[in-house]
Structure 1
Amino acid sequence: MRAESGAEFNDVMQRMTGLLVGAIFGAVFVVVNAHSPLNSVTANVLRVAACLAAASVIAMWFLTARKEKPSAGSRPNMYSRGYLIIVAAEAVLLFGGIRVLAAWERPEQTNVAWVAFVVGVHFIALAPVWKDWGIAAPGAILTLLGVAGLVMASTAVVAWVPLVSGVLSGVVLLMGAVTFGWRAMTARTA
């Protein structure tokens, strides 16, 4: 394995930390939303697979952190002012939006669609801030899954909104985190 500077190490660790957060939220999306109308076997298989995928990203994070230490004086720039503004807006939109949906007496399933939509938009907004357009693709997919769920919530298939907006969003986050985590690990050893 080649030696890395502290800045390169921090770049890798920032990316791995982002993937770790995405994997954990992806697993939560799946575990919380894998339920009826899915049969219990399918729901449990999805939950176990999600937890295993998240555990693999956690392991990749620790392996990456153990390989090398950052140099003195180097510091991450992941949490810039732009990042903080986007996360604050996301929190306001998430919690404010859920309250508005409740006031409008929308079905409870609408909440997961709203969460998927807001999380997707947050990834798209973060892409230029982090100068990482790779996160825009899962952001666009989550946004579309959120919109699909919002539309479905007004139809007879409302019971399937948690699968479409929740489970599928979680799968997207987990697949992205595992794939990009693996690529980062193998690129470091190449």
Structure 2
Amino acid sequence: MTGLLIGAVFGAVFVLVNAQSPLPPVAVTLLKAAACLAAASVLAMWFVAARRERPAEGPRRPMFGRGYLIVVAAEVVLLIGGIRVLAMLGRPEETNVAWVALVVGVHFIALAPIWKERGIAALGVLLSVLGAVGLVLASTAAVAWVPFVSGVLSGLVLLTGAVAFGGRAVTAQGVLSGEAASEAGSPRSGVTSL
């Protein structure tokens, strides 16, 4: 759930920073409100999951281990280096958000085998495509739409993924907690309920 919370926060930031003109003001307000609500719902799911978590669940694979650190280090180098190269090439400022979306998408694709989560790869592909489309748009008269395509849509993809995966995780955890509680009260377990 911590990874989903991080994704939701970044998704909300993508929307809040990039929802702007040429979108109509009403759409900007609605998108920002939806992003905040989605991030808040993931935060609520994070708290629910933390309350239900039991320390005796057995060993977990480390989410933020060596593989994760290598991918994130490469991501930081690509983000900073890429934005500097784009500036040196005189690319429009809007190109930066497209580059960020592309690199973040590739980062999720690289993390999928490390975390053994195929869903993260699908999310990464979507973000990478939105970033690549933005890079192409930045070279056209539609450059003003790059923040929407590569920023807002990428943020919505992150938020939708975080809400969907978080909802499934909390639901599964609740079902498992309920099964554990019913087994604890069953005659097989040797413990009876009062």
Number of corresponding residues: 175
Tell me what 1:146 maps to. Answer: 131
Q: CA RMSD in A?
A: 1.4
Tell me what 2:9 maps to. Answer: 24
Tell me what 1:126 maps to. Answer: 111
Contact 2:105 2:127 (8 Å CA) reproduced:
yes
Tell me what 1:57 maps to. Answer: 42
Q: Deviations over 1:108-141 (max 9, x none)?
A: 0000000000000000000011111110001000
Of all paired residues, the percent bearing the same amino acid is: 70
Q: How many Å apart are 1:72 and its aligned residue? A: 9.7
Higher CA-based Rg: 2
Q: How many Å apart are 1:39 and its aligned residue? A: 1.0
Greater Cα offset, 59-68 or 120-129: 59-68
Tell me what 1:7 maps to. Answer: none
* Separation in structure 2 between the aligned mates of residue 131 and residue 73 of structure 1, nearest angstrom: 18
Q: How many Å apart are 1:21 and its aligned residue? A: 0.6
* Separation in structure 1 between the aligned mates of residue 116 and residue 126 of structure 2, nearest angstrom: 19
Matched, 1:135 2:126: no
Equivalent residues in 2 for 1:56-135, closer than 5 Å? 56-71=41-56, 77-135=62-120
Q: Secondary structure at the match of 2:139?
A: coil
Gaps of 5+ in 2: 176-194
* Separation in structure 2 between the aligned mates of residue 103 and residue 71 of structure 1, nearest angstrom: 54
Tell me what 1:5 maps to. Answer: none
Matched, 1:34 2:34: no
Q: Which residue identity is paired with 1:93?
A: L
Q: Deviations over 1:88-107 (max 9, x none)?
A: 00000001100100000100
TM-score (norm 1): 0.89
* Separation in structure 2 between the aligned mates of residue 101 and residue 40 of structure 1, nearest angstrom: 30
Q: Secondary structure at the match of 2:49?
A: helix
Q: Deviations over 1:127-179 (max 9, x none)?
A: 01111111000100000000000000000000000000000000000001001
Q: Which residue identity is paired with 1:137?
A: A
Gaps of 5+ in 1: 1-15
